[in-house]
Amino acid sequence: MKQINVGVLGFGTVGAGVVRLLVENRDILRSKVGADLHLKYVADIDTETDRGIALGDGVLISDAHKMLDDPETDIIVEMIGGEGIAKEFILKAIRNGKHVVTANKALIAGHGNEIVEAARQHGVDFAYEASVGGCMPIIKSVRESLVGNRIHAMTGILNGTCNYILTKITEEGSTFEDALREAQAEGFAEADPTLDVEGGDTAHKLAILNALAYGMRINLKDIYVEGITRITPLDIAFAAEFGYKVKLLAISKNRGDAVEARIHPTMIPLNNPLSNVGGSLNAVTISADAVGDMMLYGHGAGMMPTGSAVVGDIADIARNIMTGATGRIPVLSYQPEAIREVPVLPVDEIETHYYFRFAAADRPGVLSKISGILGDLGISIASVHQKGRKTEGAVPIVMLTHIAREADVRKALTEIRNLNIVCKEPVLIRIEQ
């Protein structure tokens, strides 16, 4: 039986999950792949900590270049993370003719075009299923299962930390700060959660999915990103009264000559399947011309779910090696010559429904002044709720709109904020029906 040698860069949480599967499930992998996936090296600066996995002599090394320069190592698995040394190691592995697997969404979103071109030039496979959605086979679905479809739109809950926090606020009335602390205690959030809660992690994933779905170069910088730090229990409670839940959504729509790509807290109806995705779980819905609507759902992070996706990529590459089929599936779904520059629609040009909450003075004529500004800018109000009197003299006024243009909404809110009857910054949450 053919032996295919694998080297793993990074022996942290996810790296250990990959190693565990390669070691403990070696027999089942052999029976399914038809080759022996031999773990030849694991490289990490920490070679002393016991990860509870039995490795043979000489497998765990501190010198990554020994692995990268070894002519017998066929597949390199990058589990270091970040955009610095990880990029250097991946490009070196590719130049040395080695196939590469990674879960590094930040690296792919920021430098994927360069890496994909390097893989093409050197005739190797570059696989990254685990970079989006953990164990959900979203990349495989878009690249392979939906190859005959025109994809119209994708909507996803792609960050488990944010989903966990919003679930806690929704179900228990927690504040954002308390929910974040609990997420950190449970291991769902990093000590510095900025990348998650401000939407950056989700943006990395959406940039990758856009490229796969629409035949465009990876474009991270033009995606509109808004995090969940300003979401309050009050707004989530109002959303529930109107029949909505609040989720941090990655929204992507094919507009033909442009792509709508945005990430922000969103109110979605309770009958939308995504509204029932709770805790740290992820989910993605895809709308396409042949299949209609479909949904993938599962763990988006964690040692073993992510490790499972990585090992799936290793197995795919091993099969390609055995059959001489390297490059059979284009790395970015489309053939290189078909990939083009597709502009991302500026957020000011999007049109959707909106939720507003104003803290206004408790006096006659307030509602007419606010609605007058909205009306002057063509923003039609679907419903208005004034929620009781407050002792400080301010009352919350909540409005839902019909479809409106973002630029008009922003202009209206600026004018309303400048009224002397409005006490605080207005709250805006977009609604997707």
Residue 84 known to bind ligand: no
Q: Could you tell me the two tokens for 32?
A: 């399914």
Which two three-digit tokens encode residue 81? 């993370």
Instruction: Name which of 238, 262, 275 is nearest 427 in CA terms.
Output: 238
10 is in an annotated binding site: yes
Q: Is 102 annotated as a binding residue?
A: no
Active site residue 369: no
385: left (phi over 0), alpha (psi -120 to 50) or beta: beta
432 among annotated binding-site residues: no
Q: Is 73 annotated as a binding residue?
A: no
Indicate which residue of 40, 87, 98, 205 is catalytic. 205
Question: Which candidate, 205, 195, 167, 199, places its Cα nearest to that of 183?
Answer: 167
Residue 337 known to bind ligand: no
**190 assigned ligand-binding residue:** yes
Environment class of 301 (CB within 10 Å of its CB; exposed 0-12, middle 13-18, buried 19+):
buried
CB of 110 within 8 A of CB of 281?
no
Annotated ligand binding at 105? The verdict is yes
**C-alpha–C-alpha distance, residues 387 and 375, integer Å:** 22
Residues carrying an active site annotation: 205
Point out the annotated binding site for NADPH: 105
Point out the annotated binding site for NADP(+): 9-16
Point out the annotated binding site for L-homoserine: 190
Point out the annotated binding site: 9-16, 105, 190
